[in-house]
Structure 1
Amino acid sequence: MTKSEVERKKRKKKSRKDGVPKKNHKPIKKHYDEEKHQIPLSSANKLTKLKTKPSSTFLDKMRARLSGGHFRMINEKLYTSTGKEALDYFQEDPSLFDMYHAGYRTQMSTWPEKPVDVIIKWLKKQSPSLVVADFGCGEALIAKTVTNKVFSLDLVSNDPKVIACDMSNAPIVSSSVDVAVFCLSLMGTNYQSYIEEANRVLKPGGWLLIAEVKSRFDPTNGGAEPEKFSRAISDLGFNSVKQDFSNKMFILFYFTKKDKRKSKGKETEWPMLKPCLYKRR
């Protein structure tokens, strides 16, 4: 072997020691195949999302529960305070009013028939020249639906056509209204002062329509006797025309104002109306 061949052989040995693989050298197989066991990128992303992001259904349920909790709190406040206290409450934070009506819409969505729809249907059968006062109008559906002139009154107004006021002190001229409506709005502990205010603004012969939750007039469960409630309004100077118990969820009372004012005598006895408080879930 020539000297040059010996040196060439030495260089080959050295290169193998330094890690240069032989020709057709196969890498040592690892204890697992990374590519075979790797989770596809799309599946990995889905798993990550499941771990870090709650489902939209869960979030919707949580939002609904929070919204429902706020609604019940505000609802209870309205039923257990005077109109003046409720007005001050909403003036401090008007956003509570929107929160309340969002919860109210949710509650109404479960009713087979809404009292405001019955009242609107009745109004459409009357003369469009009749002037209406909607006490506790909410979203002012009556004013938005009928062609009559409507005074829409409520504690807070986000609508220039709605008058914000305490319903026991409405900025309406005496004896200027043909129909006064209370649709689920006799909520204050001084509710009788609202009816007295309706009496003031109504013309002789004018109509008073009151729709209220049926449970508020269930004497067997702490509610007022319907006849006692009707008698108190009659004593104020009204004729009881009709009591409609046909609906499952609410009662509708129809009164007309007498031509002659009630003479002062024995003070009217107003029954306590049971607060309509929703159960906590």
Structure 2
Amino acid sequence: MKRIKSHRHVPRRPIPVPLPDGTADVTKREARYGYFSRLNNSWNRRNSGKTHDALKSNPVEWEYYHTHYRAARASWPTLPYEEMIRWLREREGLVVGDFGCGEAKIAEAVSDRHVVYSFDHVAISDNVTACDIANVPLDDNSLDVVVFSLSLMGANFTDYIREAQSTLKLDRQLHIFESTSRFSDREQFKDGLRLLGFDPFAVEDRWKFTYIWALKEKHVPTGDIELTFQ
């Protein structure tokens, strides 16, 4: 993993998630960043490079998002990252890239049996690399598994899939969890993954989420394809 070993370590302040919940704190944050759904929509519409620059200079926006995300998922009967943890616990010795890791729950749970590289705009701990997941600091053909757990956020999210294709070894695995409500045509999305160099051999419903399991294929990805949600 030459690239990640050379990635410069930058001292950082502790990242608090959840944020303080005093009335004054909450009111101030909502006035500045808007409600959770509005922030979610903003990140989805914006290029990830711009989001990364904004969060690098002001990580409180990221902390606000993940504080609300933690609260929202508390009542969910199915959690995508827990689905991946269960899958990984049945296996050993894989090199895993968690793209858009959030609080890095996957690494926290399975680092005793796998090597897990966790990436997000903001690093919640020293075990996470802060970067734009369209360009992660890993060598090509270095990963066995790439996970996108509700992390295909950004107008250019197709670039994340391209980066997954570059960093995965041949025949290795891509796992995507996304809200089913985001898909306008899952078959069209699968066709797009094929053009990007993957064989999406399994598509399943997991509560309100769509789970896609794909393998990296040998053919060269089509350069001009852009995946879309609704």
Q: CA deviation at 1:124?
A: 1.3
Change (3 A) 1:101 1:196: same
Q: CA deviation at 1:123?
A: 1.2
Aligned match of 1:208? 174
Aligned match of 1:257? 216
Aligned match of 2:155? 189
Whole-angstrom CA distance in 2 between matches of 1:211 and 1:241: 14
**CA deviation map 1:122-179 (0-9, x unaligned):** 11122x2110000000000000001310000000113111000011110001101000
Work out whether 1:129 is the aligned partner of 2:93: yes
Structure with the higher strand share, 1 or 2 = 2
**CA deviation map 1:224-277 (0-9, x unaligned):** x111111111122111220011x221010000112x232x7x655434213xxx
Aligned match of 2:226? 270
Aligned match of 1:112? 77
CA contact (8 A) 1:83 1:166 kept: yes
Change (3 A) 1:197 1:267: closer
- Structure 2 unpaired stretches of 5+: 1-21
Q: In structure 1, which of residues 122, 138, 153 is the aligned counterpart of residue 102 of structure 2? A: 138
Q: In structure 1, which of residues 234, 238, 242 is the aligned counterpart of residue 198 of structure 2? A: 238
- Return the letter of the residue paired with 1:93: N
The DSSP-based 3-state class of the residue aligned with 1:199 is helix
Whole-angstrom CA distance in 2 between matches of 1:132 and 1:141: 13
CA contact (8 A) 1:131 1:179 kept: yes
Q: In structure 1, which of residues 65, 83, 87 is the aligned counterpart of residue 48 of structure 2? A: 83
Aligned match of 2:4? none
- Structure 1 unpaired stretches of 5+: 1-58, 218-222, 275-281
**CA deviation map 1:65-117 (0-9, x unaligned):** 96594433432221110110110110121121111100111111121111111
**CA deviation map 1:180-226 (0-9, x unaligned):** 00000001100000000000000001100000001001xxxxx3x11
CA contact (8 A) 2:196 2:225 kept: no
Work out whether 1:150 is the aligned partner of 2:108: no
Aligned match of 2:7? none
Q: In structure 1, which of residues 227, 230, 237 is the aligned counterpart of residue 187 of structure 2? A: 227
Q: How does 1:65-76 map to 2 (within 5 A)?
A: 69-76=34-41
Q: What TM-score results when the alignment is normalised by the length of structure 2?
A: 0.82
Q: What TM-score results when the alignment is normalised by the length of structure 1?
A: 0.68
Structure with the higher helix share, 1 or 2 = 1
Q: In structure 2, which of residues 60, 64, 71 is the aligned counterpart of residue 99 of structure 1? A: 64
Change (3 A) 1:66 1:96: closer
Whole-angstrom CA distance in 2 between matches of 1:168 and 1:269: 15
Whole-angstrom CA distance in 2 between matches of 1:143 and 1:252: 20
The higher radius of gyration belongs to 1
Whole-angstrom CA distance in 1 between matches of 2:207 and 2:81: 15
- Return the letter of the residue paired with 1:244: E
Change (3 A) 1:111 1:160: same
The aligned length equals 204
- Return the letter of the residue paired with 2:141: S
Higher relative contact order (CA 8 A, sep 6+): 2
CA contact (8 A) 1:235 1:268 kept: no
